[in-house]
Amino acid sequence: MKKIIVYCEADLVNKKLEEVSFELISKARSLTKTALDLKNEEYQVEAVVLCDEINEESVKKAYKAGAHIFTLIKNDSLKVFYQTVFAQSFVEYFNQNKSDIIIFPATPKGRIVAPRITTSLDCGLVADCTGLDFIVRDDKLMFAPTRPTFGSELMATIISKTLPQCATVRPKTFSIEFIYEEKNEINIYEPVSYEENRMKLVKTVLDNAQNEYDFTNANIVLACGYGLVHNKDRKYFEKLEKIAKLIGAKVGSTRKVVDLGYMPQATQIGQTGSTVEAQIYVAFGISGALQHISGMKNSKKIVAVNIDEDAEIFKYSDYKIVANAKSIIDKLYDELSK
> Which residues are near ligand FAD by CB under 6 A?
151, 225-227, 254-257, 268-273, 285-287, 289, 291-292, 295, 305-308, 311, 324-326
Q: Distances from the Cα of 275 to the Cαs of 176, 181, 249, in angstroms?
A: 16, 30, 16
For ligand FAD, which is the closer residue by CB, 34 or 272? 272
| 268 class by beta-carbon count within 10 Å (0-12 exposed, 13-18 middle, 19+ buried) | buried
For ligand FAD, which is the closer residue by CB, 220 or 307? 307
Contact criterion met (CB below 8 Å) for 142 and 44 = no
For ligand FAD, which is the closer residue by CB, 164 or 225? 225
Shortest Cβ distance from residue 245 to ligand FAD (Å)?
22
For ligand FAD, which is the closer residue by CB, 55 or 324? 324
Shortest Cβ distance from residue 224 to ligand FAD (Å)?
8
Cβ neighbours of residue 161 closer than 8 Å, sequence gap 6 or more = 124
Give SS3 for 153: coil
Shortest Cβ distance from residue 117 to ligand FAD (Å)?
26
For ligand FAD, which is the closer residue by CB, 152 or 165? 152
For ligand FAD, which is the closer residue by CB, 108 or 151? 151
Beta bridge partners of 69: 46
For ligand FAD, which is the closer residue by CB, 64 or 326? 326
DSSP β-ladder status, 250-253 and 280-284: unpaired
Shortest Cβ distance from residue 157 to ligand FAD (Å)?
20
Instruction: Name the residue number minimizing CB distance to ligand FAD.
Output: 270
Shortest Cβ distance from residue 314 to ligand FAD (Å)?
10
- Per 3-state DSSP, the chain is made up of helix, strand and coil in percentages (nearest 5) of 35, 25, 40
Shortest Cβ distance from residue 307 to ligand FAD (Å)?
4
Shortest Cβ distance from residue 317 to ligand FAD (Å)?
12
For ligand FAD, which is the closer residue by CB, 95 or 265? 265
Contact criterion met (CB below 8 Å) for 135 and 35 = no
Shortest Cβ distance from residue 202 to ligand FAD (Å)?
32
Distance CA(106)–CA(115), nearest Å, equals 11
- Amino acid 146 reads T
Distance CA(320)–CA(297), nearest Å, equals 15
Q: Degrees (nearest 5) of the Cα angle 136, 138, 141?
A: 35
Question: Could you give phi then psi for residue 36, rounded to 5 degrees?
Answer: -70, -45
Q: Distances from the Cα of 178 to the Cαs of 22, 23, 66, 124, in angstroms?
A: 9, 10, 7, 31
| 163 class by beta-carbon count within 10 Å (0-12 exposed, 13-18 middle, 19+ buried) | middle
Shortest Cβ distance from residue 214 to ligand FAD (Å)?
17
Distance CA(254)–CA(270), nearest Å, equals 7
For ligand FAD, which is the closer residue by CB, 150 or 196? 150
